[in-house]
Chains A and B, each alone.
Chain A
């Protein structure tokens, strides 16, 4: 059996990092929580990093407040379960403080408006900080397994190259351009570049421009540290003990999204180690859908006809869903495909998570 053919259950026992990725609304956060819980139940010390969990799930995991450092979830299992909710801004602040030459430099950066913009809402930063948090948890703590939820956007896979993108950003030509005047190389900036700078100032206003220049000057000397960290994070993500688990639901649109994710991962040289399909409609077997539909038609107007009609509809739906999944399953083969049935209600406590675990890693 090769490494890629480990079952999800084996991954829970052996992987050091599990990254759950997929589009929004497919139960990614819940899946990540279940995997970490299951690892704890098997005696491992596991941590789960969640991103924007639903409130009740957060409460169940003891994450009601913003906790950017792991806190232990109490429970009756041989291992340990720790959880935290990613706080992009404070993770970034920590990173700046760590790499700054002295407290004064850190302070200058933290107070800069441009920096506050990057560390706050900027898309891509959340992905980057998820990767950074993962690195911290691997190195500053002693977890056997770290499970990471990823942001519910198409950009989530920026997770993989976000660190590199940020260091590229700090290396940007514009950066040199911005820096030129403050370094007294005004004449070295060519005419075309000056036109560019003038155009940008005209469009966005001089103030924004000044903020950016101040930021870049404040950042000087820190690029190296960021770049080294980027390389380390990337290596961590591509490590053999890191497993990417693709989470999907069996609808045509989410399967298309999941396929896109699988392709993007492959582009980065990362294979999908397991496919988790949530919200699968159960098949009730009995008769073939066509036969049940025929019975429903024959018996139309009777209670039994209604029962057959319902069975036919649900079984046809299960067949449709399997049809959607077929290509994706082939695409990620030999990774195992794990189906979790549509549940009667939402999961908001540890008992609910345990119920899903029974389907996930039986």
Chain B
């Protein structure tokens, strides 16, 4: 499928996965990929200090939207902007917009939100998702990418709308929850992309999360992103001494062992990763996008470009869904 088509499928893309799988850098890379495909993108973080800004070489995100990447001068590349959304700030904004500015400050200062959100858990989540929905509706960016909370919480986070609909029958929260649920369950507006590492436990957990999200939340799942795959190398099965003889080189003492050990390590890890990719494909019939393991010290703009291009290459091989004509 043409990547541009992919990013036009739904305005909201929720990126979810267990902690430590690289969810945040994938969110950033997806934004950069959208930008390279000519779309403008807004990245949203909800947990604080995710490092999203850093991947673009910018400071940490705040509630105020900032530019992370300017649009290309020739118009072929879209801009990327970013912001954080927190429950407290979203509530303040909500109260201000509903003529309750005067009580809003006190409401927060007194810790009332804590007590009330205890009474109706999911309230914080719905405040955040409500704000995300508003961003999606405003349509300021072609694509809104949400760096969702880590796995276990991602499910409760996305289930909050359903839960609140049951708990609260009337009033603005009920309306908010209904709107959010409508957004989450409409594949033309929202899809969830899950991120995993090519390792046993992360794969198991991704599969569990995928079924939970489909069955219990009713969201559409986009391609799965598998992060940190060791790039292919030349033939590492050859014995270093043999290879040295072929190349007409003499190895120093111990060098053959070091080369052999390093080669064995790489082969084992690669074989394990390939096995897990196959398991994932078997357990979950979703297209996979593969991202290379990066050997670099930092994950800044240059590395982001590498990952974004890998995503674009992957998307190009994903079959277009029926009915899109692409």
Contact = CB atoms under 8 A, between A and B. Distances in A.
Interface of A: 23-26, 52, 54-56, 113-114, 117-118, 120-123, 152-154, 169, 172-175, 192, 195-196, 199-200, 202-205, 207-209, 211-212, 249, 252-254, 256, 260, 282, 284-287, 299, 302-311, 313-317, 320, 323-324, 342, 344-346, 348
A304 B236 CA distance: 9
A307 B235 CA distance: 8
Interface string B15-40: 00011111011000000000000000
Nearest to A122: B121
B244 interface: yes
Nearest to A30: B201
Given A256-B51, A305-B247, A309-B234, 9 more contacts: A174-B115, A196-B103, A200-B112, A287-B252, A302-B243, A302-B247, A308-B259, A310-B262, A344-B269
A316 B295 contact: yes
A122 B265 CA distance: 43
A202 B116 CA distance: 12
B170 A121 contact: no
Contacts of A52: 152
B171 A114 contact: no
B320 interface: no
Contacts of A308: 259
A249 B20 contact: yes
Contacts of B119: 114, 117, 204, 208-209, 211-212
Given A287-B255, A346-B201, A203 B173 contact: yes
Nearest to B170: A205
Give me the 3 closest cross-chain CB pairs, A-B, nearest first. Answer: A25-B20, A24-B19, A286-B258
A287 B199 contact: no
Interface string B103-132: 100110011101110111111000000000
B148 to A, nearest CB: 13
28 contacts: A25-B21, A113-B167, A117-B121, A123-B153, A152-B152, A153-B19, A175-B115, A200-B112, A202-B171, A203-B116, A205-B173, A208-B116, A212-B118, A252-B298, A256-B51, A284-B261, A287-B258, A302-B246, A303-B238, A303-B243, A303-B246, A310-B262, A310-B266, A314-B262, A314-B265, A320-B295, A345-B200, A348-B200
Nearest to B115: A174
A312 to B, nearest CB: 9
Contacts of B204: 54-55
Contacts of A260: 49
B96 to A, nearest CB: 13
Contact of A307 (B21, B172, B201, B243): B243
A304 B121 contact: no
A189 to B, nearest CB: 14
Nearest to B203: A346
Contacts of A200: 107, 112, 116
Contacts of A317: 295
A208 B51 CA distance: 36
B234 to A, nearest CB: 3
Interface string B127-163: 0000000000000000000000011110010000000
A136 to B, nearest CB: 24
Contacts of A208: 116, 119-120, 167-168
Interface residues of B, number: 77
Given A196-B103, A208-B120, A23 B20 contact: yes
B106 A196 contact: yes
B62 interface: no
Contacts of A55: 204
Contacts of B115: 169, 172, 174-175, 212
Interface in B227-266: 233-236, 238, 240, 242-244, 246-247, 249, 252, 254-255, 257-259, 261-263, 265-266
Contacts of A310: 233, 236, 259, 262-263, 266
B283 interface: no
A346 B200 contact: yes
A199 B121 contact: no
Nearest to B257: A286
Contact of A121 (B121, B240, B269, B295): B121
B296 interface: yes
B268 interface: yes
A196 B19 contact: no
B29 to A, nearest CB: 14
Given A196-B106, A208-B119, A314 B259 contact: no
A344 B272 CA distance: 7
